[in-house]
């Protein structure tokens, strides 16, 4: 009877620590963590967890959308785990009791709201990007660096350290190093 936790973030820039701490505080003995978008089935840690978890074990997740990709997926996963004798505890919802009609109803409603919330975030993000594209000065991606700015940085490198030049020009250390290597290779 092991208490397992599962933590997932969608992008590499997001951090797992908050979820992992909540899972530790909830008494999880083993935590599986990964950085994968919820819309992909390629979740090796989740697959390993599903292969490991047995009857009498408990699975704890911080939120339903960290665990399932859609309402349909959540219902299928929770039903499968329930049939295997696994207790599912979603920290912001509580233990999911699929043994009663009311429990099934509440779970389905919560799953639908979790999917709706995720869809709304995606929609707002897309709307924001579309609005930004309408502006005349919109440029997608990183801003370009002016040749004059690079030339100035290379000139300053003759008498200053890379870190000092970065502070003086506002360029990052890695950008200065990259252009320095390019210049040295060209000579």
- 12 SS3 class: coil
20-45 tens-digit pLDDT: 999 999 999 999 999 876 566 678 99
- 102 SS3 class: helix
When the pLDDT of each residue in the chain is averaged and rounded to a whole number, the result is 86
**What are residue 95's DSSP bridge partners?**
89
pLDDT for the residue 121: 85
Residues identified as active-site: 10
- 60 SS3 class: strand
Burial zone of 111 (CB within 10 Å; 0-12 exposed, 13-18 middle, 19+ buried): buried
**What are residue 96's DSSP bridge partners?**
88
Per-residue tokens: 49: 């967890």
Per-residue tokens: 169: 């020009």
pLDDT for the residue 58: 93
Distance CA 71, CA 73 (A): 5
pTM of the entire structure? 0.58
Q: Count CB atoms within 10 A of the CB of residue 110.
A: 19
101-157 tens-digit pLDDT: 887 788 788 778 878 888 888 898 888 888 888 888 887 777 778 888 888 999 999
pLDDT for the residue 40: 61
Q: What is the mean pLDDT of residues 10-23?
A: 85
Distance CA 38, CA 10 (A): 6
Burial zone of 154 (CB within 10 Å; 0-12 exposed, 13-18 middle, 19+ buried): middle
- Statement: residue 93 has pLDDT above 70: yes
Under DSSP, the state recorded for 144 is P
């Amino acid at each position: 009877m092991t208490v397992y936790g599962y933590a997932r973030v969608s992008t590499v820039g997001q951090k797992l620590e908050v979820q992992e701490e909540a899972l530790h505080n909830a008494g999880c003995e083993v935590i599986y963590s990964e950085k994968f978008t919820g819309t992909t089935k390629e979740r090796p840690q989740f697959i390993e967890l599903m292969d490991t978890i047995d009857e009498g074990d408990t699975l704890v997740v911080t939120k339903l959308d960290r665990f399932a990709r859609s309402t349909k997926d959540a219902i299928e996963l929770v039903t499968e785990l329930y049939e295997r004798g696994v207790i599912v505890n979603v920290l912001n919802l509580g233990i999911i009791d699929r043994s009663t009609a009311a429990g099934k109803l509440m779970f389905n409603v919560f799953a639908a709201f979790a999917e709706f919330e995720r869809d709304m975030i995606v929609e707002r993000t897309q709307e924001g990007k579309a609005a930004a594209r309408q502006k005349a000065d919109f440029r997608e991606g990183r801003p370009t660096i002016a040749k004059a700015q690079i030339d100035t940085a290379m000139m300053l490198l003759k008498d200053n350290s890379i870190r000092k030049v970065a502070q003086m020009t506002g360029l990052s250390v890695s950008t200065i190093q990259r252009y320095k290597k390019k210049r040295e290779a060209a000579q």
